[in-house]
Amino acid sequence: MNEERYITFDQYLQDEMTVEEKNSFEKQLAEDPEFAAEFETFKNVHLQLETKFGYEQEREAFKENLIKVSDKHFNKPKVIALKPWYYGAAAAAVILMGLFFYNYSQKPSFEDFNHPESAYFTERGNVEATLKQAETAFNSKEYKKAIPLFESILKENHTPEIQYFYGVSLLQDNQIIKAQNVFNQLKSGTSVYKDKATWNLALVKLKQKNYNACREILLTIPEDYEDYVEVQILLRELE
């Protein structure tokens, strides 16, 4: 993803596009899965930054560092001037290039990185009604209700997708041992949920404040993982 695309993402999030530009952007989101995935990653970066930089003094200190980095590595200081304290496009680029060096004063928390994705299941035969109930419960963050529904579905439809969302539900409900078992099974497999499961294993360790174990797990996640930006952010905060 290039710098221009970051700026486009930033403009959309800040509602700085014309109607035509916005319609074109949303059309590309709907038609281009890779573009949509990159946009979701960028939004996650913004969420992490907004969580971390909640006070004006921290914002100003970060901005000063960011301007120096931008001048050196991008030679485009105008990117920084999007807002008086706004760091969106350039900050994301800095993070992705491994130049994010702001010195945090405290360790990261589980809540900072706990953002479960929504579930959208394809209905499947006999488990159709239960699957829909599980999807609704999960997306409503009613994890305690979703867990037995997933367990029922897994008896007939033991897929990595259902396993993954079952594991996330267990983690959210603080059933740590069960969640780890599910994620370890997925991690040892070859499904598309392999890296997602590894990320959640890192979150388990983060929740337990076992920072060394969390870092070791993060280092096993490949760079082509769709949310690798968050991996980089968390690794930096663990230093």
- For 169-215, what is each residue's pLDDT tens digit? 999 999 999 999 999 999 999 999 999 999 999 999 999 999 999 99
> Cα–Cα distance between 143 and 162 in angstroms, integer?
14
Q: Which domains does the chain have, with CATH numbers?
A: 3-103 (no CATH), 112-238 (1.25.40.10)
What would the mean pLDDT of 78-99 be, rounded to a whole number?
45
* pLDDT tens per residue across span 28-73: 888 888 788 888 877 777 666 665 554 445 545 555 555 554 454 4
Terminal-residue alpha carbon distance, the chain: 26
Residue from 151, 125, 147 nearest 138 by CA: 147
The yes-or-no verdict on residue 136 having pLDDT over 50 is yes
Indicate whether 85 pLDDT > 70. no
Q: Provide the H-helix boundaries in the chain.
A: 3-13, 19-31, 33-52, 56-73, 88-96, 110-113, 128-139, 143-156, 160-172, 176-187, 194-207, 211-218, 228-238
Q: What is the mean pLDDT of residues 110-125?
A: 82
For range 160-175, the mean pLDDT? 96
Report pLDDT digits (tens) over 6-40.
778 878 888 888 999 889 999 988 888 878 888 88
